[in-house]
Structure 1
C-alpha cells in the first residue's frame, strides 16, 4: 500500500507562543519550533570510550529525563547564521563543558513525524575533552554523566528504575556507536 500525499491544503498557524507554533494542514494538527532552523543531538564519546549523558527536569512531561546533549540552531539567542555543525559544537560545550575533537553526522530524521514538522540531526562527537563547566544556559539546570560505553545499558536501566525518563534517541545513538564505530 502506498502512502497518500495531499498537497491541496495550505499550512495555517492557529496559535503562536514564544517558542512553538501550532499549525494545521488540512485535518492534521502539529507543532513547529519557532525561531530555529534545525535541532541537533550530540552523541559525545571521550578518548577512553565514555559516553556523555545529560539529566534535566522537563516540564512538558513533569519528570527528570536522561538525554544526549541537544539543542537548536539559530534559536534567536545565538548567531542567525549559525550552521548545524556550529550549533552542535556550541550545544555540546554549553550543556556539558566538553569540546569535540571530531564531529560527524550519523543520522537525520523527524523528531516525531505524527505531531511535529521539525527534523533532528544526530552527530557523533569523538575524542571530547572537558574545557569548561557546562550545565546549560541561564534557563537550564543540567547534570552531566560520563559513563563507560560498555556500562551504558546497565546505567540507563538503573536510571530508569530510579524514575528517570530515558529519551529513546539514546538507544539509536548507542546502537550506532556499537555497530558502526567499533567502540563497544
Structure 2
C-alpha cells in the first residue's frame, strides 16, 4: 500500500512523477536481471554482443599493454588496498558501473537505485563506496538523460529542467541540469 501524504488542511497530496519513478524502477529491474543472467553465464564479458562492451574490453587490453613498470607497482598497491574492501562494497561498485554504463544516472539516483528495496538493496556504506569509486561524469549523464527525455517526450526547456532536477525524476543537480540543456542541439 502506497504511503499517503496530507497537507495542513487534511487534504491528500498526490505525488507527481510516479509514472516516471515506476519506469525507472522497471528499467533498473531489467538491468539488474541482465546482471544476474550475466553472472549465471559465468560473467564472461567477451561473450557479449555489445560493441561498446567489446570496445571497452579492447581499450582496457591496449591500456594494459602500454602501462609502464611504475604503473605495475601502483597496480600492486591498489590491488592490496582492494583486498581490504568488503565483497558487498565491490559488488555495489560493479553494479553502479553497470548502471551508469547502460543508462543515465545522477549521483542521487544511482545511490537510490543501489539502496532501494527494488534495486540493489545494498547497505548505505556499500552504496557510498560505489559512488566514491564509480567511473562516471555526471554532466555527461545529465546530457544523456536530457537527450532521452527530448527524444521520447519532447518538452520545453523549463519542463526538462524540472524533470532533470526533480526528486521524482532524474535527481541531477541544478548545475548539471543547466549544463545538459545547454548541450542539446537546436
The TM-score, its normalising length taken from structure 1, stands at 0.24
Q: Which has the larger radius of gyration?
A: 2
The TM-score, its normalising length taken from structure 2, stands at 0.24
Higher strand share: 1
Higher helix share: 2
